Amino acid sequence: MASRRAAEQFILTGRVSVNGVPVKLLGSKVDPEHDKVTVDGKPVRAQKKIYVMLNKPKGCVCSRKDEHDRMTVYELLPKEWTGVQSVGRLDYASEGLLFLTNDGEFALRLTHPRYGVRKRYIITVESKVDEEMLHRFTTGIWHDGEKLKAERAWLVSATKSASVVELELAEGKNREVRRMFESQGLMVRRLLRTQVGKIKLGELKPGRWRALTPPEIKTLISQV
């Protein structure tokens, strides 16, 4: 019905009732399954929680609106899901696993650095990557005043002209993976996120989404 701040004003001014009794104390708890909550006499109900995973294709953004009129990930979802937001972001050129939800607490726990939810990426770069560089990634490098660090890094394949690297990160700093390679003078050709926590992208095709199962949601929450 309203933003959190506006809802607090509803409560303080006595517009909210629980089981017919006005409640003015912020932080009062209710059981949405059994308690009847009204605002100005009109009933309100808990919003149905939505948890989906999407294989974000290259060439779309995670914003609701884009100043350059580029495609957004929300155009791939049902139009009635107006309250759904992406959990973290993948930039325009990046691909792979992206969660979307209308559960703010769930999103916070998957993105806040203190929870350390690990994410895996497969990166193709236009040069040969050696073990020394991978070691620098896991010990940490500085870029634009920030320390960037991978928890794990390993070489999948390499030729003289290109390398495929897999990284596992516990933080989600802006463009962190690309910046790590840029700091070494390497250009990223492709960046694909394959896993968040214990949930893998699997066979989900680019541009497609599916609902997370209750066991998958429980698994993600239990990790944090």
40 a catalytic residue? no
Residue with tokens 């999407």: 54
Distances (CA, A) of 38 to 26, 27, 33, 43, 49: 15, 16, 14, 4, 20
Q: Parallel, antiparallel, or unpaired: how do β-strands 95-101 and 188-196 relate?
A: parallel
The four Cα atoms 140, 143, 146, 152 give a dihedral, to 10 degrees, of -30
Residue tagged active-site, from 31, 91, 103, 130: 91
Annotated active-site positions, please? 91
